[in-house]
Amino acid sequence: MVDIATLATFLVAAVASFFMAWSIGAGSSGSTPFAPAVGANAISVMRAGFFVGILGFAGAVLQGANVSETMGGDLIGGVVLSPAAATLALVIAATLVATGVFAGYPIATAFTSTGAVIGVGLAMGGDPAWATYGEIATMWILTPFVGSFFGYVIARSLREEPVPERYVLIGLAGVVGLLVANIEFAVLGPPDGGASIAQSVGGMVPASRSVGVAVGTLGMILLWVVPTAMGVRNDPARAQRRFLLVMGGLVAFSAGGSQVGLAIGPLLPLSGDLGLPLLALLVGGGVGLLIGSWTGAPRMIKAISQDYSSLGPRRSIAALIPSFAIAQAAVLFGIPVSFNEIVVSSIIGSGYAASGAGGGVSARKMGYTVLAWVLSLAGSLFVAFTGYTAFEFLFL
């Protein structure tokens, strides 16, 4: 029989988790995926907020398990987060992220959530998980360089020098098809894992599994290349906008798969006591992301799309492709990552290719953003550590 006190504590933590999911949906996962498309005038702000909510919910349910498990059990060793610690970490992180949303600055959600969980865990007497920290730090440090580099390369290649733009766009469609064929989905794999479309096709082909994976990958590539080639031939401008919108959708889906874990991860130890499956938490977190995207994302979409850079379709495509690839790598390895960091770095790279030094990006705005990212991690860790220490001294 479920203890009443445990149930009551879980409900309080669940409310904090939902608030965190709303803040994420209104902030990073709700604003960044379609911001380049809005900047390129391919979609309106309100319509972008609607679609990013739906796609973010789908990503949360289908791809949210890996990051959730990292946030719930891999950031601290030697202890399991107590109900009070989990609740406090969620409240602190959500408050900081929501403050960034309403102030119009993109607080790094992953930095904030990770710092809060580590802070309360250390305050409980837990041991630092240095191996996990090394993996996370590597991803966070490499993301700006990788995103900027590939954003620059793709933007340069789309300027018809020396290959015509239509051929480059078709080639990029093939690359995206390759990525889509090999990203993992929970519904395609065993109960304790996921599988890609290519792997699923490989299991159905009578020949060897490797041949089946190759067939599945090739089929997905063709599903992307053929419509793109036909669209470029009939109406290049329209095909470009359509490709841009689809990329925004893929990034929104990836955002849900990555960011939902920041909200529900700390709930995993509590949900185990109540017998709640992970899927139930993912659905609840996905709903929070959806509502946040619908109610709070337009403000941040405007901030990203207009304040950082005046984007065109080419630069937007160049920003979204590396964003999608980096996000899926983070989902695969279960690493919490900031979508603000991913997309903004890709925008900068594409901006340099289009406009030379500066690329139309506000250096002052970027300076404030980087400072906000650093303070997100340090501030949330400090507040969470001192907050739980004070709570323990007063009430435990």
Domain membership of residue 215 (yes or no) is no
Domain membership of residue 69 (yes or no) is yes
Res 173: pLDDT = 93
pLDDT one-digit tens code per residue, 12-29: 888 888 888 887 887 766
Res 130: pLDDT = 93
Domain membership of residue 172 (yes or no) is no
pLDDT one-digit tens code per residue, 151-202: 888 888 887 667 788 888 999 999 999 999 988 887 777 766 778 888 887 7
Question: What is the span of the domain harbouring residue 109?
Answer: 4-156+252-320+337-395
Res 308: pLDDT = 47
Domain membership of residue 343 (yes or no) is yes
Q: What is the mean pLDDT of the chain?
A: 83
Domain count within the chain: 1
Domain membership of residue 184 (yes or no) is no
pLDDT one-digit tens code per residue, 125-143: 999 999 999 999 999 989 9
Instruction: Reply yes or no on whether the pLDDT at 5 is more than 80.
Output: no
Domain membership of residue 182 (yes or no) is no
Domain membership of residue 206 (yes or no) is no
Res 304: pLDDT = 64
Domain membership of residue 45 (yes or no) is yes
Q: What is the 3-state secondary structure (H, E, C) of the chain?
A: CCCHHHHHHHHHHHHHHHHHHHHHHHCHHHHCCCHHHHHCCCCCHHHHHHHHHHHHHHHHHHHCHHHHHHHHHCCEECCCCCHHHHHHHHHHHHHHHHHHHHHCCCCCHHHHHHHHHHHHHHHCCCEECHHHHHHHHHHHHHHHHHHHHHHHHHHHHCCCCCCCHHHHHHHHHHHHHHHHHHCEEHHHCCCCCCEEHHHHHHHHCCCCHHHHHHHHHHHHHHHHHHHHHHHHHHCHHHHHHHHHHHHHHHHHHHHHHHHHHHHHHHHHHHHHHHCCCHHHHHHHHHHHHHHHHHHHHHHHHHHHHHHCCCCCHHHHHHHHHHHHHHHHHHHHHCCCCCHHHHHHHHHHHHHHHHHCCCCCCCHHHHHHHHHHHHHHHHHHHHHHHHHHHHHHHHHC
